[in-house]
């Protein structure tokens, strides 16, 4: 059988069979040097420094959903461009008329109006971004299955930015989102008043990694109905091991995240996809200088919450209503539509490792009203097999 042609991706960036089956990155080792302690005085300085190269390689398009992270990137880029006399960034936005859960029109329009940006590219999408739709098919044929399953999402945006730069807000969730030990961290740093119920939480946070791993594996099992039970247990053990190794200190946890394979995959996959259209990719929330500056600014306690952090960094360029919003769009409807349903209906069983996956269970999942998006990488592997293409050998 023929093989996919994607040789540009190093093995560490590619999901292996277990990761394709469960839809997660299963961490194995640290793949980067430790995050340096040298950083600008304020993380916004580092953020602007990370964005500047994008503005110096126009056109500078900003992948803009209207969420807080992409709004922050767009606002910081616009302010920097005006200060330094550079061409303004151009927001580029998908619109999904048939997927109500994706709608962010009101928030998008508020941000663009506040920033007084004259240009805004809006792309209406029906089923093009389906997990096995035309855009995904092109990426799968060229590069094989990638993680996350929606790695193809930015390809049309990268093509619009050809010869220039695409800037994204990827990484904001991971930097300022909740961490595993946040309650224990708050108690230990004096941010929260200790209560009786915190005793076990703090004791677990301070326990050796093997103890943490055993407790987390027992308390926080997640189900994957299509995985055989021993395989599901294997994935849960890997998740527990990953979480057990996270430091309790917020600044140390940021450095730990910087070294992770997940962070590397998020950063480098888009860069390689961008090379297909001669588009540079800038993702300031994934830059080491930004992470180091945030770690130094917020220290071992970290910011009180995500809104506090965003206000500290972007309060001068965005309305507080935007910085403090809690709602968030979801895009699963866009990734499982007519192409996926048609494939699920005709799927013969090829492309699924039956030592990992229960064939009948995954078939039922794909024919459900709302299939689990963690199974979409598996569908992509099955689609490749149906086309007579083999994804490459196990890469991790």
Classify residue 237: in a domain, yes or no. yes
Here the tokens at position 1 are: 């059988």
236 falls within a domain: yes
Residue 75 has a pLDDT of 98
pLDDT at 100: 75
Could you tell me the pTM of the whole model? 0.92
Residue 5's pLDDT is what?
43
Q: Read out DSSP for 187-201?
A: HHTTSS---TTHHHH
Query: Considering the domain boundaries, does residue 193 fall inside one?
Result: yes
Rounded CA-CA distance 156/162 in Å is 10
DSSP string for 167-181? E--TTHHHHHS--TT
CA dihedral 9, 155, 277, 161 (to 10 degrees): -140
Domain count, the chain: 1
Which structural domain, as residue segments, surrounds residue 241? 182-245
Query: Which residues 6+ apart lie within 8 Å of 355 measured at CB?
Result: 228, 231
Structural domain includes residue 346: no
Is 276 within the bounds of a domain? no
Task: Look at residue 274 in the predicted model and tell me its pLDDT.
Answer: 95
Measure CA of the first residue to CA of the last residue in the chain; give whole Å.
Answer: 23
- What's the rounded Cα separation, in Å, for the pair 109 and 104? 9
**203 falls within a domain:** yes
199 assigned to some structural domain: yes
Largest CA distance in the chain: 63
Q: Show pLDDT as tens, one digit a residue, over the chain (396 residues).
A: 233 344 577 888 899 999 999 999 987 666 677 887 666 679 999 999 999 999 999 999 999 999 999 999 999 999 999 999 999 999 999 998 877 777 889 999 999 999 999 999 999 999 999 999 999 999 999 999 999 999 999 999 999 999 999 999 999 999 998 788 999 988 998 888 889 999 999 999 999 999 999 999 988 889 999 999 999 999 999 999 999 999 999 999 999 999 999 999 999 999 999 999 999 999 999 999 999 999 999 999 999 999 999 999 999 999 999 999 988 777 788 899 999 999 999 999 999 999 999 999 999 999 999 999 999 999 999 999 998 876 544 333
Is residue 192 situated within a structural domain? yes
Q: What are phi and psi of 254, to 5 degrees?
A: -65, -45
Q: Tokens for 127, please give them.
A: 């089923």
The helix/strand/coil state of 211 is helix
Rounded to the nearest 5 percent, the helix, strand and coil shares of the chain are: 50, 5, 40
């Amino acid at each position: 059988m023929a093989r996919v042609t994607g040789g540009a991706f190093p093995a560490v960036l590619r999901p292996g069979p277990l990761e394709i089956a469960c839809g997660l990155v299963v961490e194995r080792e640290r793949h980067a040097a430790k995050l340096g302690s040298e950083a600008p005085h304020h993380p916004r300085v580092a953020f602007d420094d990370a964005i500047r190269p994008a503005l110096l390689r126009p056109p500078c398009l900003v992948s803009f959903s209207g969420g807080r992270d992409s709004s922050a990137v767009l606002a910081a880029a616009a302010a920097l461009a005006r200060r330094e006399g550079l061409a303004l960034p151009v927001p580029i936005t998908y619109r999904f008329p048939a997927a109500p859960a994706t709608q962010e029109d009101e928030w998008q329009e508020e941000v663009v109006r506040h920033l007084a940006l004259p240009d805004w590219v809006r792309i209406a999408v029906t089923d093009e971004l389906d997990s096995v739709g035309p855009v995904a098919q092109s990426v799968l044929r060229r590069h094989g299955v990638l993680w996350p399953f929606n790695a193809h999402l930015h390809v049309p945006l990268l093509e619009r930015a050809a010869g220039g730069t695409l800037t994204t807000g990827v990484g904001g969730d991971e930097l300022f989102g909740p961490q595993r030990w946040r309650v224990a961290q708050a108690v230990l740093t004096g941010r929260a008043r200790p209560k009786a119920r915190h005793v076990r939480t703090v004791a677990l946070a301070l326990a050796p990694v093997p103890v943490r791993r055993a407790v987390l594996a027992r308390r926080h099992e997640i189900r994957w109905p299509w995985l055989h039970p021993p395989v599901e247990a294997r994935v849960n053990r890997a998740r527990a091991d990953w979480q057990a190794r996270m430091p309790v200190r917020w600044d140390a946890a940021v450095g730990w995240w910087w070294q992770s394979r997940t962070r590397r995959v998020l950063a480098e996959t888009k860069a390689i996809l961008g090379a297909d259209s001669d588009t540079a990719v800038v993702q300031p929330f994934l830059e080491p200088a930004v992470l180091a500056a945030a770690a130094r600014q917020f220290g071992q306690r970290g910011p009180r919450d995500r809104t506090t952090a965003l206000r500290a960094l972007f309060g001068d360029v965005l309305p507080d209503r935007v910085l403090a919003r809690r709602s968030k769009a979801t895009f699963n409807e866009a990734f499982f539509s007519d192409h996926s349903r048609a494939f699920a209906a005709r799927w013969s069983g090829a492309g699924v490792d039956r030592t990992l996956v229960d064939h009948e269970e995954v078939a039922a999942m794909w024919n459900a009203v709302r299939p689990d998006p963690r199974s979409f990488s598996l569908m992509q592997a099955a689609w490749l097999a149906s086309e007579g293409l083999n994804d490459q050998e196990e890469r991790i």
